[in-house]
Amino acid sequence: MKTETFKISGMSCDHCVHAVTKEIKKLPIEKTDVAIGSARVEYDEKKVSHDKIVAAIREAGYEVVQ
């Protein structure tokens, strides 16, 4: 299991949090905690990759900040 925190730009409200949560939960992740500006995700690297999580955040309309 890997736990990673993603910094996300452009989030400013609860709707943003919901949109990101909805996209991340489409992936086979173990646990997620999304807040304004970040997402903490626990996942099995054999089931999903870092890049897939970043893609899900982008699909919600936001960018991951390095």
The pLDDT tens digits of the residues spanning 26-41 come to 999 999 999 999 999 9
Cα Rg of the chain, angstroms? 11
Mean pLDDT of 10-37: 96
> For the domain bounded by 2-65, which CATH number is listed?
3.30.70.100
pLDDT over 90 at 66, yes or no: no
Query: pLDDT averaged over the chain?
Result: 96
Asked if residues 38 and 7 have their Cβ atoms less than 8 Å apart, the reply is yes
What pLDDT does residue 4 have? Answer: 96
Domain ranges of the chain: 2-65
What pLDDT does residue 40 have? Answer: 97
7-38: b (≥16 Cβ within 10 Å) or e: ebeebeeeebbebbeebbeebebeebebeebb
